[in-house]
Amino acid sequence: MKLILLGAPGSGKGTLAKKITKDFEIPQISTGDMFRQFASEGSELGLKLKSYMDSGKLVPDEVTIEILKARISKDDCKNGFILDGFPRTVPQAEALKSLCEIDSVILVDLAFEEIIKRLVSRRVCPSCGDIDNSEYEGYTGKCRKCGTPLYQRDDDKLETVKNRLEVYEKNTAPLINFYSDRLFKVSSKGTPEETYAPVKTFLSNLED
Ligand code: ADP
Ligand code: ZN
């Protein structure tokens, strides 16, 4: 099963991807996570990637497509994958089309107002990747799964968030039309479990 998660930054793609990965045993491929990994290693490429991310700009298509291509040709992608954060532009979608056939595109839908609220209070575990929110009940600043102190991503500051949403409108929203023949739309207004329920039903039917 080859899937794409489409939606604005902060709409909840990553959280949904983790649930799908667990139930359907296909890897989550997040270009953002891969770029942050490169950035943390401090190579010349990594530093360049970080400067794009910190200003809320997209990484150029050529670089992004190259990295994605290498990733999906790995062994663990044989039975499928979930793309989280790719494609983000029409040229990326066209490049992907020449590589493989995507079964379904899940559009994660949330109002920008709510996205901004969630992103500026989002906190991430540097060790296991778990996502939390400083406004949620029981928040302690430490990861609920592994106890590591959580941090705020550099690009989750308000000004950068606004840039990222503009970039989404302009470059990524057109993909909704590109994939109109295989789109499944879900609202992420509720809890992660409420968001996942209709997706799980849909994917279970897709599998048989
Ligand atoms: P979010 O979806 O919350 O914005 P991501 O972790 O997906 O965060 O992406 C973080 C940053 O990484 C983006 O703002 C962008 O700079 C870069 N990036 C990730 N995926 C892509 C992509 N497919 N094309 C171009 N840039 C990307
Ligand atoms: Zn953790």
User: If we measure between CA atoms, which residue out of 63, 88, 81, 80 comes closest to residue 6?
Assistant: 88
CA distance 148 to 102: 36
Give pLDDT, residue 56. 87
Q: Report the residue among 35, 115, 124, 159 best suited for mutation to probe ligand 1: largest number of ligand atoms under 8 A from its CB.
A: 35
Annotated catalytic residue 153: yes
If you take atom 6 of ligand 1, which residue's CA is the nearest one?
32
User: If we measure between CA atoms, which residue out of 120, 103, 77 comes closest to residue 202?
Assistant: 103
- Compute the average pLDDT of residues 15-41: 95
CA 59 to ligand 1 centroid distance, Å: 7
Annotated catalytic residue 164: yes
Mean pLDDT over all residues of the chain? 95
Give pLDDT, residue 55. 87
Above 90 in pLDDT, residue 201? yes
User: If we measure between CA atoms, which residue out of 183, 168, 197, 198 comes closest to residue 4?
Assistant: 183
Give pLDDT, residue 58. 94
Q: Which of 13, 18, 71, 123 is catalytic?
A: 13
pLDDT in tens, 57-77: 999 999 999 999 999 999 999
3-state SS class at 85: coil
Q: Which of 50, 88, 118, 123 is catalytic?
A: 88
| Ligand 1 atom with the shortest distance to the CA of 164 | 14
CA 153 to ligand 2 centroid distance, Å: 15
Number of Cβ within a 10 Å radius of residue 3: 26
pLDDT in tens, 91-142: 999 999 999 999 999 999 999 999 999 999 999 999 998 999 999 999 999 9
- Compute the average pLDDT of residues 143-150: 97
pLDDT band at 186 (very low <50, low <70, confident <90, very high): very high
Q: Using alpha carbons, list the distances in angstroms from residue 16 to 4, 62, 75, 138.
A: 11, 27, 23, 21
Give pLDDT, residue 177. 97
Q: Which of 2, 19, 153, 157 is catalytic?
A: 153
Annotated catalytic residue 118: no
Pairing assessment for the beta strands 2-6 and 81-84 based on DSSP bridges = parallel
pLDDT band at 34 (very low <50, low <70, confident <90, very high): very high
Q: Does this model's pTM top 0.95?
A: no
User: If we measure between CA atoms, which residue out of 93, 67, 72 comes closest to residue 173?
Assistant: 93
φ/ψ region of 110 (left if φ > 0, alpha if ψ in -120 to 50, else beta) reads beta
Annotated catalytic residue 88: yes
